Structure 1
Amino acid sequence: MSDIDITGILAEHEPLARSIAEVKKVAYEISKDDMLLDFFVRAVFPTDHRNAIEAYFTGGEDCAKRFANLCREHLSSGPSSVLEFASGYGRVARYAKHVLPDTAWVSSDVHPNAVEFLSSKIGVRAHLSSTKPEDWSIDDEFDVVFALSFFSHMPDATFAPWLSRVFTAVKPGGIFVFTTHGAVTLRNMRAGGSPAQFDDTGFYWNSKSDQRDLDARDYGTSAVSLGYVQKAVSDIEGAELIRFQQAFWWAHQDLYVVRKLDQ
């Protein structure tokens, strides 16, 4: 894999980032450690780094708006609190005050550098996560917990444990919004020459991902069927799957919304 100077790219295109951020009224900084930008540069826009910077900002804004609309659709009133789990370096969180201005937004990520960046540059409260579900906890409960493209990378051994663990952060009556790779993702993989198929349980796994700094045993690329997720949700007390929409996010990741029943 060729070496790419992310720091140099960010420095070269800082005027562009500042210009976009000024129009959108958000923080302009992008962390040199942000593996999502790294993925854009390496895999999506390898010959056009300007487009990588633009896509980072515009895609984050689109995700934030999409999420806010889901909150309004599935809650009787706007959420007073949100936990964005596996938030990365703030691609979505930088738009929090625009899309949900009256909401206390907390981000959680496994990278200490991301937690520091979220706090100091993006201006949201940030919480350090862990690589093991049994080691993760947070003191608060939230009206909405949001995990975008996290469960699309979990192995079978930790998919359901993470689902159950993160669900503990949802208030009674609140919702858990998350995405997964699904059947459309696998179809796209097969079109690209990969023999990707669900196993008998509705699960698919390979060890490759855009997060090269994480252990491939903990974080790779997975895809799951609706039945697989239904089974995982049914094993969580007080959890009710209220929405499934195939290929809702980025035209290939599936959307799930799970409500925590009032006790």
Structure 2
Amino acid sequence: MSFIDLKYLTSSEAKEAAMNQSAVGLIPIGAFEQHGPHLPLGTDSIMVEVLASEVAARCSEPIIVTPTLMAGLSSHHLDFPGTVSLEPATLGSELASYINALSNMGLTRVCLLSFHGGNFNFIGEYADNCNINRPNIQVEAYNDFHRFLHVMFEAGVEAGLILAPTDSHAGALETSLILHVLGKKRVRPFEMVNGYTAGDPGWMEIMQAKGVSAISPSGVFGNPFGASPEAGEAILNALVEEVVIWMKETFSLKTTS
């Protein structure tokens, strides 16, 4: 069994699982932030947990997946109620504690995986610093958000979605994913939700400086209209394949078909 869910193990079972020298620890890092008027606050955390489990199941070596870190770096969403944003130092301390726990179990390789775009740069820099300051453990982060979004976008188009070039937050891509993973009961009506689609020069910089609400009053980038669970399944499969290939190359892993 390649997917090992750490939260369900006993202490002695965790030690035994880590004795396999090919095992890799995986820390899913989410976010707790607004996703428009139609998607749950926990969307990114829900999706990274699903992604981590699917990736682990595709590997031949044991992948020991920790509990998901439920909040991340979401300061640009704080104008919207319910959003939780950690300070970078706080997220770094959380990661250090989880990495210490995995290291104390006996693991020497750790993967950091996020679904929230605001975490990607941070976890990449954090992993680089770990590899300088902790040479006894290999810490790697999937931190290419542009590639991650491109994979989602291409899979969505292939699945029949009509996407605005700005579709990156609570638009048809993420709405399709949540429809697939959680079903319609967890998604509020979205057919009339209007997000930001213009893609004017500098819009990302304005959003980062002034917050999401300065660009999109609804909190949505793209439009969710046309989202479907079938498209969500295709997008998830594409992301799983992308991360599996990256893990295989990064940690020299084998993968199952």
TM-score (norm: length of structure 2):
0.33
Q: Which has the higher contact order (CA 8 A, sep 6+)?
A: 2
TM-score (norm: length of structure 1):
0.33
The structure with the greater share of residues assigned to helix is 2
